[in-house]
């Protein structure tokens, strides 16, 4: 079997359908139907990716995502029946890497799983040096670690790749669509503000004062750029 995927949903039919399609793609699937059991499996089973329903008994998906993200950078795809932009952003803001809206096509979800696993930082080793140093910012693509002034940044998969894209070409302005293409790595069907949320989360870990960013600058009407990092205090 291939990589291991944890599927979490309180609806048994949904779990079995997702499991069927993921098994067809060669993934080993473990399942949970409520939050605490999912947390145990996430800790003990070491999945390569988690498909996580937002509405769960015991511990809801947002709480579970936040807890897992504090302990691990495992990719998380959120399933949600909530369709407002605010609801989708809430999932991303807690550390989810992607989301799929219910009702969904199991083929689409399987494609999202493949895409998220493909965009893990392994491919970044194929381009450029294994380590980048810019002032006190150090990005090690081989170890998938980043630090600023000796302080580990503990980035998620998406945050790490986003920082890597910006850092490889400092001072270059990337549009949202360019970042979506390079970071999400597939024909993303979401909305541009997805990148804004990941930028916000990255700033929280990188910037001394995220409300007044020093390193990741917004360029009005154009996108984002990483400014030269000299000394960080």
DSSP string, 27-47: -EEEEESSHHHHHHHHHHH--
Equal fold, 4-118 vs 122-226: no
User: Could you tell me which CATH class the domain 122-226 is placed in?
Assistant: mainly alpha
Q: Look up tokens 């750029």; give the residue.
A: 225
Give the Cα separation of 169 and 189 in Å (integer): 26
Report whether pLDDT(193) > 80: no
pLDDT at 231: 58
Beta strands (DSSP E) in the chain are 4-8, 28-32, 49-53, 76-80, 98-101, 131-134, 137-140, 145-148, 151-152, 216-219, 223-226
Better pLDDT: 190 or 230 = 230
Answer left, alpha or beta for residue 218, where phi above 0 means left and psi between -120 and 50 means alpha: beta
Q: Which of 138-152, 175-189, 196-210 has the lowest mean pLDDT?
A: 175-189
Cβ atoms of 113 and 77 within 8 Å: the answer is yes
pLDDT at 119: 65
Report whether pLDDT(232) > 60: no
pLDDT at 178: 82
Beta strands (DSSP E) in 149-232 are 151-152, 216-219, 223-226
Give the Cα separation of 35 and 30 in Å (integer): 14
Report whether pLDDT(183) > 60: yes
User: Which of the given ranges, 17-21, 72-76, 90-94, has the highest pLDDT on average?
Assistant: 17-21
Average pLDDT over residues 174-187: 75
Which pTM value belongs to this model? 0.62
pLDDT band of 187, cuts 50, 70, 90:
very low
Give the Cα separation of 48 and 117 in Å (integer): 8
Better pLDDT: 51 or 196 = 51
**Both tokens of residue 70?**
């504090």
Question: Residue ranges of the domains in the chain?
Answer: 4-118, 122-226
Average pLDDT over residues 144-164: 89
In this structure, which topology does domain 4-118 adopt according to CATH? Answer: Rossmann fold (3.40.50)
How many CB atoms are located within 10 Å of the residue 112 CB? Answer: 22
Q: Which residues contact 165 (CB under 8 A, 6 or more apart)?
A: 174, 179, 182, 183
pLDDT at 126: 44
Q: Which of 13-17, 61-65, 86-90, 110-114 has the lowest mean pLDDT?
A: 86-90
pLDDT at 116: 81
pLDDT at 188: 47
pLDDT tens, residue by residue, 22-35: 999 999 999 999 99
Give the Cα separation of 142 and 27 in Å (integer): 25
């Amino acid at each position: 079997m291939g990589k291991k995927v944890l599927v979490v949903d309180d609806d048994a039919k949904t779990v079995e359908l997702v499991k069927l399609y993921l098994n067809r793609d060669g993934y080993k699937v473990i399942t949970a139907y409520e939050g605490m059991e999912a947390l145990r499996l996430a800790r003990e089973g070491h999945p390569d990716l988690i498909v996580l329903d937002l509405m769960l008994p015991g511990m809801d998906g947002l709480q579970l995502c936040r807890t897992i993200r504090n302990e691990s950078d495992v990719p998380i795809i959120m399933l949600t029946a909530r369709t407002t932009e605010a609801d989708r952003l809430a999932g991303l803001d807690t550390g989810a890497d992607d989301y799929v809206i219910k009702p969904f096509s199991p083929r689409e979800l399987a494609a999202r799983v493949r895409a998220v696993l493909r965009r893990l930082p392994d491919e970044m080793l194929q381009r450029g040096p294994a380590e980048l140093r810019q002032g006190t910012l150090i990005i090690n693509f081989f170890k998938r670690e980043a630090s600023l002034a000796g302080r580990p940044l503990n980035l998620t998969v998406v945050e790490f790749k986003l920082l890597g894209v910006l850092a490889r070409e400092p001072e270059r302005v990337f549009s949202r669509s360019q970042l979506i293409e390079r970071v999400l790595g597939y024909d993303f069907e979401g909305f541009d503000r997805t990148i804004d949320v990941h930028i916000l989360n990255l700033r929280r870990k990188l910037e001394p004062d995220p409300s007044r960013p020093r390193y990741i600058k917004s360029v009005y009407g154009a996108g984002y750029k990483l400014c030269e990092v000299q000394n960080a205090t």
